Amino acid sequence: MAVHLMSLARRLRRALGTDAVVTEEAALRTYECDGLTHYRVTPGLVVLPESAEEVRFVVRECADAGVPFVARGAGTGLSGGALPVAEGVLIVTSRMRRILDVDLANQRAIVEPGVVNLAISQAVRPSGYFYAPDPSSQVVCTIGGNVAENSGGAHCLKYGFTAHHVTGLEVCTPDGELMWIGAGKAAETAGYDLVGVFVGAEGTLGIATKVAVRLLRAPQAVVTVLAAFRTTEEAGAAVSAIIAAGLTPAAAEIMDALAIEAAEKAVGCGYPQGAGAVLLVECDGPAVEVVAQVDDVETLCRRTGAFALRRAADDAERADLWRGRKSAFAAVGRISPNYIVQDGVIPRTRLAEVLHDIGELGRDAGIRVANVFHAGDGNLHPLVLYDARVPGAALAAEEVSGAILDLCVAHGGSITGEHGVGVDKATKLPRMFSADDLDTMQLVRCAFDPRHLANPGKVFPTPRLCGEQPRHREAEAVPAVPTGTELW
Amino acid sequence: MAVHLMSLARRLRRALGTDAVVTEEAALRTYECDGLTHYRVTPGLVVLPESAEEVRFVVRECADAGVPFVARGAGTGLSGGALPVAEGVLIVTSRMRRILDVDLANQRAIVEPGVVNLAISQAVRPSGYFYAPDPSSQVVCTIGGNVAENSGGAHCLKYGFTAHHVTGLEVCTPDGELMWIGAGKAAETAGYDLVGVFVGAEGTLGIATKVAVRLLRAPQAVVTVLAAFRTTEEAGAAVSAIIAAGLTPAAAEIMDALAIEAAEKAVGCGYPQGAGAVLLVECDGPAVEVVAQVDDVETLCRRTGAFALRRAADDAERADLWRGRKSAFAAVGRISPNYIVQDGVIPRTRLAEVLHDIGELGRDAGIRVANVFHAGDGNLHPLVLYDARVPGAALAAEEVSGAILDLCVAHGGSITGEHGVGVDKATKLPRMFSADDLDTMQLVRCAFDPRHLANPGKVFPTPRLCGEQPRHREAEAVPAVPTGTELW
């Protein structure tokens, strides 16, 4: 370990206690990656603070020593956002898991960043409330990580992303200051809304040390419908019809034939025989409304080609319908030794077109691609299957995977919906933004972190040199709309 | 006119045409204030661009000449956010009123900043859609102004503020670059979410030149209930009960006795005799749900003390119930020659307490205060009545008005909900934020506008000296939560 890290470790041990600082090589290695396991870096040292004040202390020590730092929650991220820096400090929030306050009358809670996503709903469920964003890792992932990545989940079609449910934050800025941003219990605040830019900044603007979240009333009724179609195009058309009819399901998820095959092998979910695609639609709300909605959903599914429909009204039946979907990612491991999960977004109306093109890309390359997606949001999760033991297979899968993101961008979409840019897609950001646009975005980063100590190497492909003044750039001939989007 | 402004005017005339630049004193004076008429400044010159490209040209000319600029939509703002700068350029967007694209399948529209708020809903209503944010000035106010102030309206209880309905923006940065921020037609984008901080930045980060907005399906049914109570406390309790029951009305508005009196005098709205407060609750959604909701609302109102209930099911009846509320601000002019409208926010659960304290403040000062408020959001609009002809009356009203904001802050709220800080409340921002917090907020402003050319003098009481590096400040003994909010 470098001498300056050793002396930093000593200072941190003195302040936080011996067991709060990890320096032993084998122990450090357990933190070398997050959910995106093909990027691995052993951190210089690991610190486990227990309070906001301790985070502030650690960050200030890092700032003083010019040492980069990375925050980590449960390490379930899928873009390498929590990948450590070799000569840096990894700040792990797992000891900060107190729910500090629950205020049901104002429908707010304040929690520490290490609180597990599901733990909030568990704490307030007996009172009839829940916390809406539900990433599929919600039994282990933490709110701090959700804030960094602006996590979504199956139900963000109706409820929105983490950004829509965080009303205020205490953050530790990269120079080691604690600062409250956003509103307290009131609905609005004054001045700049820094919550919006902090949520989803992937730890590059600082570390959330307290998170104020909105609590929602649990819906009176929840009903799930499974519709089986011959093709994903039909299933996509059903989603378009449902939304065009003014219905707002809580979730609308599609799995294609290959994803179904994998799920059947893994958990025997018993989806209808011969399904080329299944669509799961969940409606929630007042009982009287939900029944009417589900009737409409079923009618529209039949009209767009569903050949089998199943309706689940109680929790056990619902869990049964969801089992295949929830197991899909893991299940793909049953039919392929390796796979890459992508996270592209497209306008919902382009679903059929893009799925067709993804199919062609796969066929041309001789690579199987399973599709699982949040259809209502146009958020695709293509799983590109390969066998790492076959020479060249990993590279070919990477290429198909990259081509899928190009497709999404070409259709006016995004290279990430809910997994973040992280280290994985930083080099792909220029497919969406010009160098000038990325430079302007980084003005904010430079404002908060001119020395790039907070999670360096993430999000942006090229760190902006800070300290430059905004300058006049050459007038561009093209209109300033997202790359690949026609001016609509 | 200063020489450098004369030469700037010449260059702008050459590029934009003679009639796009106003320099005549009498004409300039028509732009001297916005809806907050007691601040008046005649602008140095006024420019009326017709396109984003023209805005870019004007802003770059200003940047090159070091001349400050202020954007103005319809001038209906209530915090002086569009107050001109004497030696600056006022950029008026009234000629930029094209709806550039409507894409119903993706529920998105792109509009120019000078488009009137209501014009969007009018354009898409025949197809069954609407644009949700509805400030009471919506027949004249523009989307550009709504973006600057993050405008709300009676229905933001259910639908949220402008920030929740803007998905992307083309902005002209203070150095004269056009840049797209946020998503196109897709649900999500990558990188920093600059839309969140731009919306509500009151023109201090640049000028929106194109606005992408979400379109919602018009609800199948809308039903309004008017409940009359003896006291505002009872009406407030009804709102708490409604929300605690898990109902989400589209709007929940309260008027107190003095506001009712004014409305009766102005428009003869015929609210129930003897009402010390009226509560208007509007429910919308699928017909079957709305009827059930309204039944529940009425039951809860009766339970909390309503002595009269009226239900309006068709548009004419609804308009009748809303007439008093919609006229309230103007109507107050009938019972008082002058008044100050405030815009404080409190946690909803503090309504009864704060209303009681406002009553006391008024009584102690011998000043009448009428209360009209978005009860569901805890967004108060107290109207402090006075007669400017009486010596000292204006000052006394200002004092009561300021004391009301102090009350809001002391209860964990905000000095503004939807009108913005502008020039009016800039000096009051330190009541909510420490000097250090305001400095940190201004890091973003410095990043975009280090020379403070974009709407200078607004929002922040003291401009931060840009170019300083973030620095370590003295560790504070107090926790970093909003001033006045207990750590909950």
pTM: 0.89
Tokens read off for B44: 């140095």
Tokens read off for B230: 């003896």
pLDDT(B280) > 80: yes
**Mean model confidence pLDDT for chain A:** 91
Sign of the CA dihedral running A202, A203, A206, A207: positive
For A180: left if phi > 0, alpha if psi spans -120 to 50, otherwise beta; the answer is: beta
Å between B486 CA and nearest CA of chain A:
9
pLDDT(B482) > 70: no
Residue B63 near chain A (CB below 8 Å): yes
Tell me the C-alpha distance between A348 and B185, whole Å: 8
Q: Give the model's confidence band at A475: pLDDT under 50 very low, under 70 low, under 90 confident, else very high.
A: very low
Q: Do B191 and A421 touch (CB under 8 A)?
A: yes
Residue B469 near chain A (CB below 8 Å): yes
Beta-strand (E) ranges in B118-259? 129-130, 166-172, 178-182, 207-214, 216-217, 221-229, 251-256
Tell me the C-alpha distance between A107 and A130, whole Å: 10
DSSP string across A32-101: S--SSTT-----SEEE---SHHHHHHHHHHHHHHT--EEEESSS--SS-TT---TTSEEEE-TT---EEE
Closest by Cα among B422, B346, B374 to B75? B422
**Mean model confidence pLDDT for chain B:** 91
Residue B478 near chain A (CB below 8 Å): no
Report the residue from B60, B191, B485 with minimal CB separation from A429. Answer: B191
pLDDT at B467: 67
pLDDT at A437: 84
Alpha carbons within 13 A on the beta-carbon side of B384: 26
Residue A51 near chain B (CB below 8 Å): no
Q: Do B180 and A459 touch (CB under 8 A)?
A: no
Contact (Cβ atoms closer than 8 angstroms) between residue A108 and residue A213: yes
Q: How many C-beta atoms lie closer than 10 Å to residue A64's C-beta?
A: 13
- The neighbouring-strand residues paired with A340 are A384
Q: Give the model's confidence band at B287: pLDDT under 50 very low, under 70 low, under 90 confident, else very high.
A: confident
Residue B488 near chain A (CB below 8 Å): yes
Report the residue from B52, B188, B218 with minimal CB separation from A379. Answer: B188
pLDDT(A443) > 60: yes
Name the 3-class secondary structure at A318: helix
Q: What is the percent of chain B with per-residue pLDDT over 90, rounded to a whole number? A: 71
Q: Which range is least confidently modeled, A344-353, A392-401, B123-132, B461-470?
A: B461-470
Chain B residues with CB-CB distance to A440 below 8 A: 173, 177, 179
Cα end-to-end span (Å), chain A: 55
pLDDT in tens, A6-23: 999 999 999 999 999 999
Chain B residues with CB-CB distance to A81 below 8 A: none
pLDDT in tens, A235-272: 999 998 998 888 889 999 999 999 999 999 999 999 99
Contact (Cβ atoms closer than 8 angstroms) between residue B253 and residue B373: yes
Contact (Cβ atoms closer than 8 angstroms) between residue A109 and residue A215: yes
* Residue from A55, A103, A202, A488 whose CB has the most chain B CBs within 10 Å, to mutate: A488
pLDDT at B439: 86
pLDDT(A66) > 70: yes
Tell me the C-alpha distance between B264 and B258, whole Å: 10
pLDDT at B480: 42
Chain B residues with CB-CB distance to A447 below 8 A: 443-444, 446-447, 470
Q: What's A116's DSSP letter?
A: B
Q: Which range is least confidently modeled, A51-60, B294-303, B337-346, B463-472?
A: B463-472
pLDDT in tens, B424-460: 888 888 988 888 888 888 889 998 999 999 999 999 9
Chain B residues with CB-CB distance to A405 below 8 A: none
pLDDT at B376: 86
Cα end-to-end span (Å), chain B: 55
Alpha carbons within 13 A on the beta-carbon side of A471: 9
Segment A48-76 mean pLDDT: 97
pLDDT(A75) > 60: yes
Q: Do A293 and B286 touch (CB under 8 A)?
A: yes
Residue A164's alpha-carbon distances to A199, B196, B429, in angstroms, are 10, 11, 25
Q: Give the model's confidence band at B483: pLDDT under 50 very low, under 70 low, under 90 confident, else very high.
A: very low
Å between A247 CA and nearest CA of chain B:
9
Q: Which range is least confidently modeled, B1-10, B124-133, B272-281?
A: B1-10
Q: B residues 247-306 near A, CB within 8 Å?
A: 285-286, 288-289, 292-293
Q: Do A448 and B470 touch (CB under 8 A)?
A: yes
Tell me the C-alpha distance between B204 and A463, whole Å: 25
Sign of the CA dihedral running B198, B202, B206, B212: positive
Q: A residues 7-46 near B, CB within 8 Å?
A: none
Tell me the C-alpha distance between B157 and B180, whole Å: 29
Element (H, E) at A330: helix A315-335
Q: Do B378 and A184 touch (CB under 8 A)?
A: no
Tell me the C-alpha distance between A341 and B284, whole Å: 40
Residue A195 near chain B (CB below 8 Å): yes
pLDDT at B472: 46
pLDDT at A485: 38
pLDDT in tens, B55-98: 999 999 999 999 999 999 999 999 999 999 999 999 999 999 99
Q: Give the model's confidence band at B486: pLDDT under 50 very low, under 70 low, under 90 confident, else very high.
A: very low
pLDDT at B488: 37
Interface pTM, i.e. ipTM? 0.85
Sign of the CA dihedral running A59, A63, A66, A69: positive
Å between A204 CA and nearest CA of chain B:
10
Chain B residues with CB-CB distance to A54 below 8 A: none
Name the 3-class secondary structure at A133: coil
Residue A421 near chain B (CB below 8 Å): yes
pLDDT at B468: 55
Å between B236 CA and nearest CA of chain A:
13
Segment B370-394 mean pLDDT: 93
pLDDT in tens, A124-170: 999 999 999 999 899 999 999 999 999 998 898 899 899 999 999 99
Q: Chain centroid to CA B334: how far?
A: 24
Size of interface A-B (CB pairs under 8 A): 299
pLDDT(A468) > 60: no
pLDDT in tens, B322-381: 999 988 888 888 899 999 999 999 988 888 889 999 999 999 999 999 999 899 889 999
* Amino acid, single-letter form, for residue A325: R
Tell me the C-alpha distance between B298 and B309, whole Å: 7
Residue B481 near chain A (CB below 8 Å): yes
pLDDT at B476: 41
Chain B residues with CB-CB distance to A345 below 8 A: 186-189
